[in-house]
Amino acid sequence: VQLQASGGGLVQAGDSLRLSCVASGRSFGSAVMGWFRQPPGKEREFVAAVNWSGITTYVADSVKGRFTISRDKGKNAMFLQMNSLKLEDTAVYYCAARTQSPYSASAFYRRAAEYDSWGQGTLVTVSS
For the chain, first and last CA: distance in Å?
37
- Residue 59 pairs with which residues in a beta bridge? 48
Q: Which tens digits make up the pLDDT trace of 58-107?
A: 999 999 999 999 999 787 899 999 999 999 999 999 999 999 889 988 99
Q: How far is 33 from 19, CA to CA, in rounded Å?
A: 13
**Angle formed at CA 112 by CA 111 and CA 113, multiple of 5 degrees:** 90
Work out the burial of residue 127: count CB atoms within 10 Å of its CB; fewer than 13 is exposed, 13-18 middle, 19 or more buried.
exposed
The pLDDT value given to residue 16: 98
Given this model, what pLDDT does residue 64 score? 97
CA 113 – CA 109 distance, rounded (Å): 9
Instruction: State pLDDT tens for residues 1-47.
Output: 689 999 999 999 999 999 999 988 777 888 999 999 999 999 999 99
Residue 32: its pLDDT value, please?
A: 94
At 53 the pLDDT is: 92
The confidence band for 128, taking pLDDT boundaries of 50, 70 and 90, is very high
- What pLDDT was estimated at residue 101? 87
Which pLDDT belongs to residue 1?
60
